[in-house]
Amino acid sequence: MYLQTTIIAIVMVATFALASWKLKSPEISMVITAIVGALVGGFGFPSRLLVEGMFTYFDVGLIFLTASIFINIYSETGAMNALVRWIVKQFYDKKWLMLILLGILLIIPGALTGAGSVSIFVVGGLVSSVMNYMGFSKKRIAAFIYLFAMLAAVAPPINLWAMLMAAQANMPYVGFGVVLIVPIIIIAAFTILYTGLSKTPGRKTKTEILEELPQPPAGMNWFKILVPFGVLLVLILLMQYATFYIPVLGLPLTFMICAFISMGMDKDRWKVKKWYNVMVKTVDQVFPLLGTVISVGVLVNIMTATGVKGLLAITFITLPMAFIYITALIFAPFAQGSLSYGSAIILGTPIIFLFNSMGLNVTVTAAALSFLFPLGDCLPPSRIVGRLTIETVGYEGSYMSFLKAIAITWLFMGAIGLLMLLFPNQLRFLVVY
């Protein structure tokens, strides 16, 4: 039985490697790998297993989709443009404060959707323009935007890696707020310091930048800017701390409520076609990541049925701890580059099971791994966030030079994630429910 499962695992690995090389699509490669694994495992064409797998992480995909709809509708109202112009007006002459605010601006969309790519889609272009006017080089801008896009994906309330690992390990997705925010602040501070200390010889005046930034729509004010996020915060807090007093809305419905509130803040609130187009654009925008979530579910379901998932878990449990740490630091980013969010299931879940068996805090462990996985969003074959950063910034160097440009901040984030993984019990005080 062990030999048979090992053969299936080897065939699946080889299939995935070949499919990824030929098709350049992790999503299609995972589905093909799942089908081949089922055939080799004697399940025939696994129609039932494929359908079941598609709905495994349906809730995660729904959260991601509705959050993206909310943030894109909010952006369409012109609120983001107004916010950026206000930041420039008030703080353009204060470099350090500007960088802090631009970093926060980049984190918000990704934190609400679980995807750093959404942060780049929504505000990446604006942030890049402002930093360019401030005189920063393309390398520094690229490093800044890429790092904060990674932090955005890790930030609460939606950390897809942690959510997937928690779901697979049958642990609640709670207590992640502080244990994620503290390292994010440390990494962000380092990145801001690294960026801010660079020379800015081409700095433009405040007047020049305000002339070129998009104008917000007439009537946009602080009430319209803040109300959608205020309602979102209140609903999330009520769901967490007043569970017995209000109906359980769930995050997807919460995000849609806030999306409709954002529509109500817009002067074209009754133009159904406008909002329909925004939703269609959003679906098109996030479809690759939705495809990833679906294909991950398919692959994991087949791996469970064939015993490959159990084999991986047993193999991990028997490995020396030193190798576990090396695997997490080196292979986690490469797994992310190949499997996208599937890396959290295939590599992260066995580590959580192992650490739990050793009495180590699994919440800190999952949080630590979620800082290591997104490092692979700039690595082949997918390179999703890396490619998007280059396009947004207008970086003209080679992709290898881009990797060199982000190396220092990239390595610092990896070091923080590794330290958290090494000392999960010492950091358990950060787990606040």
Q: How confident is the model over 251-270, as pLDDT tens digits? A: 788 889 999 999 988 888 78
Please, are residues 137 and 394 in contact by the beta-carbon 8 Å criterion? Answer: no
179 — pLDDT class (breaks 50, 70, 90)? very high
pLDDT at 103: 94
pTM of the model: 0.79
152 — pLDDT class (breaks 50, 70, 90)? very high
pLDDT, greater one: 220 or 289: 220
Name 143's Cβ contacts closer than 8 Å, sequence gap at least 6: 191, 194, 195, 405, 406, 408, 409
Alpha-carbon distance of 126 to 389, in angstroms, equals 13
pLDDT at 81: 83
Alpha-carbon distance of 153 to 160, in angstroms, equals 8
**pLDDT (tens digit per residue) in 72-104:** 898 888 888 888 888 888 888 888 999 999 999
AA identity, residue 424: P
Q: Nearest CA to 433 among 156, 174, 71, 45?
A: 174
**pLDDT (tens digit per residue) in 362-419:** 999 999 999 999 998 888 766 778 878 888 888 888 888 999 999 999 999 999 999 9
Alpha-carbon distance of 299 to 54, in angstroms, equals 9
pLDDT at 42: 86
**pLDDT (tens digit per residue) in 6-32:** 888 888 888 888 887 777 777 788 888
- Please give the structure tokens belonging to residue 234: 């209140």
Average pLDDT on 56-67 reads 77
